[in-house]
Amino acid sequence: MRPTLAFVTDRFNYFNDKIFGGELKPLTIRLSPARSFMGQLRHSHRRNPDGSVTHYDYRLTISTFYDQTEAELEDTIIHEMIHYYLNHNGVRDTSAHGQHFRAMMNRINKEHGRHITISNRRESQQLSADCARHSYVLCVSTLPDGQRGITVCARTRIFYLYVKLPRLYGVKVMQWFLSRDTFFNKYPKSVTPKIYKITESELTEHLREAVPLICDGKKIRVKK
Ligand SMILES: [Zn+2]
């Protein structure tokens, strides 16, 4: 079946009551013809004066591209609801589908007879969409005056930025990272060369779990 807004909304409310104890606040629900994901949860966030972060404006999008059975669609909706639940409760997971996600998924599968996964073929599409969503390609630069800068690079513009950033800013050193830290949400994904100043301590804190990459202008890969 192809999902309708009425169906997704109805299922969201039903599972919210049945599985999540009614804890999930209503959110914006949308349909999309996207091929790149089955379901997607997005939200905005802002940093408060006291340093805490408020997450808000959650949007659940379900793709109409795939012809799924009703049960598969429901599993997709619940999958995204787990992301919503964890994020909304400030649970920092070990990865996009880390230990907290898996624990909750396994419990729901067991208690409610569901078949939510993160690893079968259908879900691997979802997983890669999630990874794309949750991870950032970062260029960390050292400027001529020694200050540090950051560029969150649009995936399609990495090699363009590789060439342009040094030319425009006289960058001395460029380091590349893959990060899932939500701190980087607040930076726009650059398609044109732009460097944002960042302090050394912010860098240290937020690159702690980043994966170093090697970029040579033609290829970018994980540093071994
Ligand atoms: Zn997911």
CATH number of the domain bearing residue 129: 3.30.2010
Task: Determine phi and psi for 176, rounding to 5 degrees.
Answer: -120, 140
**C-alpha 37 to ligand 1 mean position (Å):** 10
At 80, phi and psi to the nearest 5?
Answer: -70, -30
- State whether 150 and 182 are in the same domain: yes
Q: Are residues 113 and 182 in the same domain?
A: no
Q: φ, ψ for residue 87 (rounded to 5)?
A: -65, -45
Domain check: are 120 and 139 in the same one?
no
Q: How far, in Å, is the centroid of ligand 1 from the Cα of 116?
A: 10
**Model confidence band, residue 123 (pLDDT cutoffs 50, 70, 90):** very low
Percentage of the chain surpassing pLDDT 70?
93
When pLDDT is cut at 50, 70 and 90, the band that residue 54 belongs to is confident
Residue 61 phi, psi (nearest 5): -120, 130
By the 8 A CB rule, do 130 and 138 touch?
Answer: no
Structural domains counted in the chain: 2
**Rounded distance from Cα 59 to ligand 1 centre (Å):** 14
Q: How, if at all, do strands 53-63 and 39-47 pair? A: antiparallel
- Could you tell me if 127 and 140 lie in one domain? no
Nearest Cα residue to 143 out of 175, 120, 115 = 175
36 and 110 fall within a common domain: yes
Ligand 1 centroid vs 186 CA: distance in angstroms?
Answer: 21
Residue 45 CA to ligand 1 center (angstroms) comes to 19
Q: How far is the CA of 92 from the centre of ligand 1 (A)?
A: 14
Kindly state whether residues 12 and 47 are assigned to the same domain. Answer: yes
Average pLDDT of the segment spanning 135-143? 92
Report CA(118)–ligand 1 centroid distance (Å): 7
Indicate whether 124 pLDDT > 70.
Answer: no
Please give all residues whose CB falls under 5 A of ion ligand 1, grouped by chain where several chains appear.
Answer: 130
Residue 33 lies in domain: 5-133
Among residues 133, 152, 184, the one where a domain terminates is 133
Residues 120 and 202 in one domain: no
More confident residue, 127 or 169: 169
H-only helix segments in the chain? 5-18, 70-88, 99-112, 121-134, 158-169, 200-206
Name residues whose C-beta falls within 8 Å of residue 51's C-beta, 6 or more positions apart in sequence: none
pLDDT digit string, tens, across residues 5-28: 999 999 999 999 999 999 999 999
Q: Which of 106, 133, 160 is the last residue of a domain?
A: 133
In angstroms, what is the span from residue 96 Cα to ligand 1's centroid?
Answer: 7
Residue 109 pLDDT:
96
Distance 177 CA to ligand 1 centre (A): 22
Residue 159 to residue 177: CA distance in whole angstroms: 14
Q: What is the DSSP letter of 116?
A: -
Same domain, 25 and 89: yes
- Binning pLDDT at 50, 70 and 90, where does residue 119 land? low
Name the band, by pLDDT with cuts 50, 70 and 90, for residue 120: very low
**pLDDT confidence tier of residue 121, bands split at 50, 70 and 90:** very low
Q: Distance, CA 123 to ligand 1 centroid (Å)?
A: 8
Distance, CA 94 to ligand 1 centroid (Å)? Answer: 13
d(CA 224, CA 212): 9
Determine the distance separating the centroid of ligand 1 and the alpha carbon of 95, expressed in angstroms.
10
Q: Which of 88-92, 115-119, 132-136, 205-209 has the lowest mean pLDDT?
A: 132-136
Q: From CA 177, how far away is CA 8, in angstroms rounded?
A: 37
Q: What is the CA radius of gyration of the chain?
A: 20
CA-nearest of 163, 158, 107 to 137 is 158
The last residue of one of the domains, among 133, 148, 167, is 133
In the numeric block, which tokens belong to residue 91?
A: 């649970």
39 has pLDDT over 80: yes
Bigger pLDDT: 210 or 131? 210
Please indicate, yes or no, whether residues 98 and 176 belong to a single structural domain of this protein: no
User: Could you read off the pLDDT of 164-218 as tens digits, one per residue?
Assistant: 999 999 998 999 998 877 788 888 889 999 999 999 999 988 888 788 888 988 8
For residues 119-132, give the mean pLDDT: 44
Strand-pairing partners, residue 173, are 142
Same domain, 120 and 141: no
**Same domain for 14 and 105:** yes
Residues 167 and 206 in one domain: yes
- Mean model confidence pLDDT for the chain: 87
